[in-house]
Amino acid sequence: MARSNPRLEAALGDITAARVDAVVNAANRQLAGGGGVDGAIHRAAGVTELQAACRVIGECAPGHAVATEGFKLAARWIIHTVGPMWRDGAHQEAEILASCYRSCLAVADELGATSIAFPAISTGIYGYPAQLAAAIAITTVRETPTDVTLVCFVAFDLDTFALYQQLL
């Protein structure tokens, strides 16, 4: 399959309902489930099943990505990535966040996924400024060679959705 630029879209809503091959989970290092997107994905996929699969994997370092089955989600796979905690922008936060997107696309390619949905990684409890994060997300995906043909940036709120629309 030839690598090309995927179609990029923005959507407002619940990422757990996305009808794509792979949904990205903004996870914690322990892949233990938590709040925000992580908690929502665990609940929708099935907490017991997903936690068991994550325990087998162990941990995931910031900027990296690992995959599990999608279990009860419409998506076949969940790609877990750990974004950076925002400190002040001078601690490689941008590099780590960009690495999350590249790593997720690489895992999607390994799985044979042709469509993927990303949340706004690190913008919740990790405190990454949404405007900076959205710009990194879109720029990185545009610049990363992949076999994925559709990338959907799923926003949970209107402000983030407006940022994605403006940048796309």
Residue 159 is a catalytic residue: no
Order of strands, sheet of 7-12, starting from the edge strand that comes earlier in the sequence: 7-12, 150-155, 115-118, 22-26, 77-81, 65-69
Selected catalytic residue, list 21, 38, 157, 159: 38
Instruction: State the residue for tokens 């209107």.
Output: 158
What is the set of active-site residues? 38
